[in-house]
Homo-oligomer: A and B are copies of this chain.
Amino acid sequence: MTLPAATAVAETFGPLSGADWLAAVVAGYEVGARVGLALGIDHFLAGHHPQGTVGVFAAAATAARALGLDAAATADAFGIAASMSAGLMAAQEGGMVKRLHSGHAAASGVQAALLARRGFTGIKSVLEVPFGGFLSTMGGDQAKLRASVAGLGSTWEIEQVGFKAYASCATNHTSIEAVELLLARHGLAAADVARVEVHVTSDAAIHGGYEYLGREVIEAQMSLRFAVALLLTYGTVEAAHFRDGVIAREDLVALAKSVDVVGDPGIDALGEARRFTAWARIETVDGRAFRQEVDDRKGDPSRPLSDADLERKFRDLLAAAGSPHADRILRLVGDLPRLDDIAELAVLLGGEGA
């Protein structure tokens, strides 16, 4: 929500310097993460999709900073954006609307900031006001106002944001890495593998372990079996694989059937902090067997991706999107703190560059 919001403001009300663009994005991350922390997990468990709901605050903060709004107008932007907070988790079960949640939140946050800039006023103290305020209405019993401001300005929530190392549901990542390590360490190719068994928490098994039929992209993105099939076939799990010509390929669907996903009470017993722990076991066609455990996701703040990994991921994503601008964008991003105007970057990120 922050990048498109900052970029949209720059495009329409620029010039915006690289430093201001960065500050706007950081403001969005700080506000978004803190509103999410204040809401707590009940918000999600009730069925709201935080990307869409909390996202309006991230976008409003970003746009307010990019527009140079003062504190009062920024508060109004929050008090307007809160009444545009929307997005239902059932979107993960099919349809395309989940893709719209971030965009709708970004647009709503920018709209809120633009209205506030013209003197339109929002709900006062929108997080904490008792009846019909954001936390009481959207947060359920768990809402903790204090979490929204604890350490504000000294603890940077943006540093707690991870990156996905694989183009699959985050719950699947430790399993994918375990299989990847087994293949690399033992020099195995797909033809050597007779069977893969993956052990995860019961929740993760429900989330990603369903039978894979290859009918739609979102099914493929959530499927641990398909991710392992991709890894065996291509050696990677990248965005480029999640398209119509690939997800239904018979060899991949068949390979996905050779992957067993086990919800393991032993892993459940490790508790919430170890909820991503997974181990994989590979049996080879010549009768050998290997086992590998992975506890934390690669790309989590505790195991950050290297700059080289991030650059490779970025290039993969741009290639999948058909953009030829990776080199130029990377150079501009490297120069961001010194750019007087991010206009060229905005055009290239929008995919409309020549």
Contact A131 B85 (CB under 8 A): no
User: Does the CB pair B96–A83 fall under 8 Å?
Assistant: no
Q: Is the CB of B124 within 8 A of A94?
A: yes
Residues of A151-208 whose CB lies within 8 A of B: none
Complex contact A89–B122 (CB within 8 A): no
Q: Closest B-chain residue to A92, C-beta based?
A: B132
Q: Min CB distance, A49 to chain B, in Å?
A: 7
Please pick, from B46, B83, B126, the residue contacting A104 in the complex, using a CB distance under 8 A.
B83
Contacts A95-B122, A97-B122, A121-B97; A90 near B132 (Cβ below 8 A): yes
Residues from chain B with Cβ under 8 Å of A97 in the complex: 79-80, 83, 120-123
Spot the interface stretch: A133-141, A265-273, A303-311, A336-344. Answer: A133-141
Give the nearest-CB partner of A44 in chain B. B132
Complexed CA–CA distance, A48 and B121 (Å):
19
Whether the pair A123, B93 counts as a contact (CB closer than 8 A) is yes
A145 interfacial by beta-carbon distance below 8 Å: no
Copies of this protein chain in the complex: 2
CB of A91 within 8 A of CB of B137, answer: no
Partner of A121 from the list B83, B86, B94 (CB cut-off 8 Å) is B94
In whole angstroms, how far apart are the Cα atoms of A340 and B320 in the complex?
Answer: 48
Size class of A's contact patch? 35 or more
Given contacts A49-B83, A85-B86, A86-B83, contact A120 B96 (CB under 8 A): yes
Q: Does A82 contact B (CB under 8 A)?
A: yes
Within the complex, what minimum Cβ distance (angstroms) separates A227 from chain B?
23
Chain B residues with CB below 8 A from A87, complex form: 83
A333 lies within 8 A of chain B by Cβ? no
| A52-B83, A83-B49, A100-B83 known; A134-B94 Cβ under 8 A | no
A133 CA to B83 CA in the complex, in Å?
19
Q: Cβ of A47: which chain B residues have Cβ within 8 Å of it?
A: 131-133, 136-137
Residues of B within 8 A of A82 (CB): 88
With A88-B132, A89-B131, A90-B129 known, 20 other A-B pairs at CB within 8 A are A46-B137, A47-B133, A48-B137, A82-B88, A83-B87, A83-B88, A83-B100, A83-B101, A85-B86, A88-B133, A88-B134, A89-B132, A93-B123, A94-B123, A95-B121, A95-B122, A95-B124, A96-B122, A100-B115, A100-B120
| Among all A-B residue pairs, the 9 with the closest Cβ atoms | A89-B132, A47-B137, A47-B132, A90-B132, A86-B86, A95-B121, A90-B129, A90-B123, A90-B133
